[in-house]
């Protein structure tokens, strides 16, 4: 089975452990690459790449959702689920 691996972070050069559990998780997701960065650097990169998201209320189901644009009052906003359903509906129409 899996064994903990010690890897070197590409960004900060620090060693970090790619644990057996993480390896299993990666394998389950079908990822064959080993992580190149330590968890801290990965977190930093994720935060940097994350676009600013605004919370909005879905006009259809009322669920709170996040949108990449500032919601305009009076304009309809849909959550991911409703958006998906609408796309499906329009595809079959």
Contact residues: Zn ion, CB under 5 A: 9, 11-12, 38, 41, 58, 60-61, 63, 79, 82
Contact (Cβ atoms closer than 8 angstroms) between residue 39 and residue 46: no
Min separation Cβ 32 and Zn ion, Å: 21
Closer residue to Zn ion, CB minimum distance, 38 or 56: 38
Structure tokens, 80? 């991911």
Is 26 or 44 the residue whose CB approaches Zn ion more closely? 44
CB of 1 to Zn ion, least distance (A): 27
The secondary element (H helix, E strand) that includes residue 47 is: helix 39-49
Kindly give, in sequence order, each residue whose CB lies less than 8 Å from that of residue 27, ignoring residues fewer than 6 positions away: 2
């Amino acid at each position: 089975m899996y064994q903990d691996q010690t890897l070197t972070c590409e960004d900060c050069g620090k060693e970090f452990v790619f644990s057996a559990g993480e390896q299993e998780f990666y394998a389950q997701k079908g990822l064959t690459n080993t992580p190149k960065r330590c968890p801290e650097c990965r977190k930093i990169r994720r935060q940097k790449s994350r676009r600013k998201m605004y919370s909005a209320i879905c006009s259809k189901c009322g669920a709170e959702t996040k949108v990449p644009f500032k919601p305009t009052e009076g304009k309809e906003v849909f959550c991911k689920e409703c958006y998906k359903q609408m796309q499906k509906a329009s595809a079959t129409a």
